[in-house]
Amino acid sequence: MFEHVLKIMESCPCGRRHTLLTEECVVALDAEEQMQAYIAAKGWRNPLIVADDNTKQFAPRLTALFPAKLTAVDGHAHATEIWTAKVGEVVNAERPDVLIACGSGSVHDITRYVAHEHGLPFLSYPTAASVDGFVSGVAAMTWHGQKLTFPSSPPVASFANPAVFASAPALLTASGVGDVLGKYSSLFDWRVGQILTGEPLCEELAALESEAIGELVEALSRRGEIGEEAYCEKVMNALQISGLAIQLSGNSRPASGAEHHMSHLWEMHRLNETNDGLHGEQVGVGLLAVVRTYHGALADGLDYERISEIDPRKVMDRAALEPVFRDLTDGILRENLPGGTPESSSLAKIRITPDTDRRLKEAEKLLPSAEAIEDLLRRAGAPTTCGEIGLDGSPAFLEASLRYAPYVRDRLTLLKVLMAAERSREA
């Protein structure tokens, strides 16, 4: 599948030039030796390994092969302004020439952010097949309470050893599966953007993602037969492909839609006090709710007249948003009106044509049924309901989540369109 990535970079029918800053993406049992050779070839002499309490146990696999310093943030890493400041201090004191993210998603986001801030390269050493963000070029951070993505450096290379990440707690791998399956709705939402607003969609990147999901689903069905290490390797491959697709696309469009907005909303702690869900667990729960909503709405028939009358001014109504988003309302409005005016909202770009309904129904065929998604999540051992991840399990909470999640990003999704059409009518 990595060959497919190279082919897309050579030439793409979409006409865009897709580039990668990540030179190598290794998933192999000799990953550490390959990292050692890479570091030697680059002439780096002072690597700094960034880990947390859970993942520093894997650092000796690296320091046995080459000299490196280690900084382990206390406890379980969280990608916040507090952690990046702590690692930044160590970087100022140690003056490393390369950083190594030794851990799962949050350790990578912290490292990626600090590397970018200090103009340093970084290497990725994933210790769990839990998220698709290892090789991506955006850092997903919780910045002063608001969930934001920052443009930052992707790793110059990634080295993952199945013997390491297959030993991670099973719920981390299950979470990775949730993140991969989330691409079903991400890809559907991308098509919705293309159909409703003429947003560019690269068929090659969409095919690459679909291929990665397909391989994972196949591995899931043969899990007992192929064994856990091979299964975890398939999960990691799919996650790495997804991360590379984000880089090739230049944004997270191929890998993040309404299902991710649900997860981001829960992490903003405005509808809920706290939640215990891992990123991919939340994405899986969000995915199931979103897919159910999409098939339901498309079966009922979309009200195109109402959709074409959506007024971003009514949707982005401060008085309606403030009771929910409170101190984050300014940030939410800035995000949704990137140019400061209603015309800058993604909703203002919607154009309904006589072809719209046919094209949406065509796109819907690529979206599995809610039952099929639920079955895949269960087989992976991933949660399927809000209650299972420490959120309010009531239908009212899920409804409120579906209603407010689209505000997390300006990105157009079918969920955003459905919510906005409803809002425009009420206001």
Q: Which residues bind Zn ion (CB under 5 A)?
A: 12, 14, 16, 179, 202, 204
Q: Measuring CA to CA, which residue among 284, 269, 258 is closest to residue 385?
A: 284
- H-helix segments, 140-250: 162-165, 170-181, 183-197, 203-221, 223-226, 228-249
Cβ distance to Zn ion smaller for residue 96 or 103? 103
Residue recorded with tokens 């001014």: 313
From the CB of 194, what's the least distance to Zn ion, in Å?
13
From the CB of 358, what's the least distance to Zn ion, in Å?
24
From the CB of 176, what's the least distance to Zn ion, in Å?
9
**Euclidean distance between CA atoms 204 and 11, whole angstroms:** 10
Contact 253, 217 (CB under 8 A): no
Residue recorded with tokens 């839609």: 257
Residue 143 in tokens:
């910045």
273 CB neighbour count, 10 Å cutoff: 9
122 CB neighbour count, 10 Å cutoff: 28
Cβ distance to Zn ion smaller for residue 8 or 220? 8
**Euclidean distance between CA atoms 413 and 416, whole angstroms:** 5
Cβ distance to Zn ion smaller for residue 91 or 232? 232
Cβ distance to Zn ion smaller for residue 153 or 185? 185
Cβ distance to Zn ion smaller for residue 109 or 410? 109
Cβ distance to Zn ion smaller for residue 32 or 179? 179
Task: Please provide residue 150's backbone torsions phi and psi, each rounded to the nearest 5 degrees.
Answer: -110, 140
Amino acid in position 57: Q
From the CB of 236, what's the least distance to Zn ion, in Å?
14
From the CB of 349, what's the least distance to Zn ion, in Å?
21
What string of H, E and C letters represents the secondary structure of 240-261? HHHHHHHHHHCCCHHHCCHHHH
Cβ distance to Zn ion smaller for residue 16 or 379? 16
Give the list of residues 6+ apart from residue 304 with CB closer than 8 angstroms, or none: 352, 356, 357
From the CB of 426, what's the least distance to Zn ion, in Å?
31
Cβ distance to Zn ion smaller for residue 68 or 241? 241
Q: Measuring CA to CA, which residue among 319, 303, 275, 287 is closest to residue 360?
A: 303
From the CB of 279, what's the least distance to Zn ion, in Å?
6
Cβ distance to Zn ion smaller for residue 93 or 207? 207
**Euclidean distance between CA atoms 366 and 285, whole angstroms:** 19
From the CB of 353, what's the least distance to Zn ion, in Å?
24
Residue 212 in tokens:
């990665």
From the CB of 91, what's the least distance to Zn ion, in Å?
26
**Euclidean distance between CA atoms 375 and 292, whole angstroms:** 13
Cβ distance to Zn ion smaller for residue 177 or 310? 177
| Sheet containing 98-103: order of strands | 24-27, 157-160, 122-126, 98-103, 47-52, 69-73
From the CB of 79, what's the least distance to Zn ion, in Å?
13
Q: How many CA atoms lie within 13 A of 198 on its CB side?
A: 6
What string of H, E and C letters represents the secondary structure of 26-86? EECCCHHHHHHHHHHHHCCCCEEEEEECCCHHHCHHHHCCCCCEEEEECCCCCCEHHHHHH
Cβ distance to Zn ion smaller for residue 204 or 281? 204
From the CB of 299, what's the least distance to Zn ion, in Å?
28
